[in-house]
Amino acid sequence: MEPKTDFWRTAAQDLDGLPGDLGLNIAHEAVDRHVARGAGERDALRFVDRRGVVRAFTYAELSKQSSAFANVLIGLGVRPGDRVFALAPRTPELYIAALGALKARAVFSVLFASFGPEPIRVRLLKAGVKVLVAEDTLYQRKVAQNRHAIPSLRHVLSLGALVPGSLSFARLLGAARDGYAIAPTHPDEPALIHFTSGTTGAPKAAVHVHRAVIGHYATARLALALAPGDVYWCTADPGWVTGVSYGLIAPLVCGVTSIVDQGEFDAERWYRIIEQEQVSVLYTSPTAIRMLMRAGPELAARFNLRSLRVVASVGEPLHADAVQWARATLGVPIHDTWWQTETGAIMIANLPGRDVIPGAMGRPLPGVEAHVVRRREEGGTLHLDRIEGADVSGELALIPSWPSMFRDYHDEPERYAQAFCDGLYLTGDLVRRDAGGAFRFLGRADEVIKSAGHLIGPFEIESALLAHPAVAEAGVIGKPHAVSGEVTKAFVTLKPGFEASDSLRRQLIGHARKRLGPALAPRELAFADSLPHTKSGKIMRRVLRAHELGLPLGDLSASDAADGAEPDATEPPSVQST
């Protein structure tokens, strides 16, 4: 194994940097570099529409069109560091906008299109967005009514029909020059914002820099075995960090051909795409894998899937039975990977070419040093005790020495500082390391819900429910689900004058869906006479979760004490059946 620093240094040497030694820019490494090396006619992206029709874009085309969009942004007064966001489905314009924004040295982010108006407003306002590239119907349904409350938003570039207060993306792009010389870009200049939810407070805006491209490249080469000639498919939505880091940046930097599916999930469709496009590397989620498993082996047997060389998963724990299913049905095992929005790139993985450890996240990559720790407070100061032995549970912590590590939570320096202690980044994930150095995921130290690969903060859902005039209190948990991993369930107490009923339950879920969108809204809702609280007044979600699982409260005392909670609740909530 290479020394930690040498691993990243070697990866950086594979990249070109800006001509004239003027720094490092993600978009240059993703597209312009390949054109300069004579690979401009290679397919970079293949978009498969809902009817199965494929539209390909070469590296040369992406280079020209992203340069044209960079010129559009400069013409609109965008300066280095300005925020350019996108709210769009998986269209070519989304990818062109991302690369063009990075060329213009703007800070780019993609908003999840299934979010409702309120989560989108919060994120646009928090980041101080200057330009929004938006599909016209999404803009009208989810942004237009709140635009007056986002003073930083100067320009909306509409994809599709021109809507009031917007400019036409297509017209501006068509009129712009397709030549653009990227200005000197410092490797530690902000490039990307990825939002991640916490259990309390507003979503965190994790800031990543152009140097992150080294991490994207190195980890994709090692953990996904990407190389020129591969046809690669990352199924993650660009509205999530995986869809940007490994759906957009990493495959382009590695010079592969990426598949972008514009249709909805359908097992038969997925198998057909793998066969027709000769997909060699698939990066997907355990939720999608479980859905393929439910479709049955007979369906998979109808297709030639021998092109698959590597299948990897991300987003939630991968159960051992999925690894065995993949070997039998796809002809290859599934290599689980672990990373976070904050790490920006894969940190731990079952590497291709090595034996997969079913049920394990894998081992740290060569450039990553991981530890298992326990938190300890002494004299009002937090300290970490490192656990050296095997098979002992604790929190996963990393030495922050990799290039794709986040550099800030936008405008929240105290929140950022709290992510580190004793020279380590605290992941908040509970793990156990075996004698061979492989890590197994045990759960979250906090209470973020993982549903279908999405991280969902209970606070946002609770806030939406509390906006309804009938709701006095709300507590939200993740409930185990066979396909999605977890689904969100809300416990609600009502204000005087309101009575629990099926009609009100449907009304509250509809209210949450309208504000948050279907991805965040609770799937289930139960009425409670009261909710359990700590002495400081915080809702004890762990008690709600235990009640849902039918566990006695006594089973919670050890975990409560370990996490510093105040286990003052003596009775489970009185809950009416859903």
Look at 453 and 275; give whichever has higher pLDDT. Answer: 275
Please name the residue ranges forming H helices in 302-375: 320-329
Amino acid in the structure at residue 156: V
Phi and psi at residue 233, to the nearest 5°: -135, 110
HSE, CB side, 13 Å, CA atoms: give it for residue 170. Answer: 8
Percent of the chain with pLDDT over 70: 91
- If you average pLDDT over residues 471-489, what whole number do you get? 89
pLDDT at 523 over 60: yes
190: helix, coil or strand?
strand
pLDDT for position 198: 54
**Tally: H helices and E strands in the chain:** 20, 28
Mean local confidence (pLDDT), 46-63:
97
Burial of 318 (0-12, 13-18, 19+ CB in 10 A): buried
Give 359-384 pLDDT, tens digit per residue.
Answer: 899 999 999 999 999 999 888 899 99
pLDDT score of 181 more than 70 = yes
Is this model's pTM higher than 0.85 or not?
no
Quick one: DSSP state of residue 560?
A: H
Going from the C-alpha of 476 to that of each of 222, 447, 456, 523, the distances in angstroms are: 38, 10, 10, 11
One-letter amino acid of 297: P
Phi, psi of 279 (to 5 degrees): -65, 130
Is the predicted pLDDT of residue 570 greater than 50, yes or no?
Answer: no
Distance of CA 132 to the CA centre of its chain: 20
pLDDT attached to residue 316? 80
What does the pLDDT average to over 178-186? 97
d(CA 201, CA 409): 13
Interval 147-170: pLDDT, tens: 999 999 999 999 999 999 999 999
Mean pLDDT of the chain: 90
Question: 282-329 pLDDT, tens per residue?
Answer: 999 988 998 999 899 999 999 999 999 999 999 887 878 889 899 999
When pLDDT is averaged across residues 257-276 and rounded to a whole number, the result is 97
Separation of alpha carbons 207 and 342, rounded Å: 8
The amino acid present at 562, given as its one-letter code, is A
Q: For residue 8, is pLDDT > 80?
A: yes
Alpha-carbon torsion (282, 285, 288, 294), positive or negative: positive
pLDDT tens profile 391-402: 888 899 999 999
For residues 292 and 289, give the distance between their C-alpha atoms in angstroms, rounded to a whole number.
5
Give SS3 for 48. Answer: strand
Residue 572 has pLDDT above 70, yes or no: no
Please state, in angstroms and rounded to a whole number, the distance separating the CA atoms of residues 426 and 527: 36
Q: What is the pLDDT of residue 201?
A: 59
Write the pLDDT tens digit of every residue in 327-361: 999 999 999 999 999 999 999 999 999 989 988 99
Domains annotated on the chain, with CATH: 367-442 (2.30.38.10), 449-562 (3.30.300.30)
